[in-house]
Structure 1
């Protein structure tokens, strides 16, 4: 189960890097910014199954760690640019470094946590952490996108 968890983490991190690099070549939109957190919401259904459940305080702490610590580097490395009357996400090499660093940190934390809680609970906490990381990042991107759009409308 542990090997599968590490594989899933590496696969997910690689997918994020690949998608982000591809996104830099295509114009972005409000929908493309908003849809990832909206799509993730269905993942909270895992907590219907009792083995995934964790205390509310753990869930809140996990969300706050994602929102406060992990989203900040992503926010700092995400910038938009206006070209050809379209808005593009600027490619940032630091983004890849940040994602790989977060992935390594996640694998290390996963190993530590699994000594104290079950694998499904750990998966649930890391899902909440990921959502906590994604939501502020995407909200910051949305604000930046809208600001750029309004400055070019004037």
Structure 2
């Protein structure tokens, strides 16, 4: 069925989905800063995202070893920027995620880089493998980011308990 859809349509559809996800993440981030942070709120998103790995059951989405290494490396590099903009603070005896104006610009900047990369790479890499690579990139970005958030959260949470 996927082979009946043109690569250009898939590229457009995946770009629209990426923009939608960027808007969703920004909205969720803004709302989460109004409520105390928790371990669940930090660790559940990567667990939910991990179900996306089921895409690799289908040969259409599989990547070779070098594509995997490239995607995970870029994802980990991008995670540094997200880690840099994610800070917690103690308010009213609870740990809260600090609002960061830079986060929104960085998130959309990363999204633009991702879209441009997808457009450029779609001429040399099969759209299915490219989709797999961008999932790996996103997962390689969210896992280190959330681990860093968890470590920072635990440090502040332990300060409160003392």
Using structure 1 for the length normalisation, give the TM-score: 0.96
Distance 2:93 2:68 in 1: 42
Q: What's the counterpart of residue 142 of structure 1? A: 150
- Structure 1: runs of 5+ lacking an equivalent: none
Deviations 1:125-148 (A, max 9, x none): 000000000011000000000000
State the SS of the aligned residue for 2:90.
strand
Matches for 1:1-154 after TM superposition, within 5 Å = 1=9, 2-67=11-76, 69-154=77-162
Give RMSD over aligned pairs. 0.9
Where 1:115 maps in the other structure, the secondary structure is coil
Q: Which SS does the other structure have where 1:26 is aligned?
A: coil
Residues in 2 aligned to 1:56 and 1:12: alpha-carbon distance in whole angstroms: 27
> CA separation in 2, counterparts of 1:11 and 1:120?
20
In the TM superposition, structure 1's runs of 4+ consecutive aligned residues that sit over 4 Å from their partners are none
Contiguous gaps of at least 5 residues in structure 2: 1-8
**Partner Cα distance (2:158, 2:94) in 1:** 12
CA positional deviation for 1:150: 1.1
The number of residues matched between the two structures is: 153
Structure 2 length normalisation: TM-score? 0.91
CA distance in 2, matches of 1:119, 1:106: 14
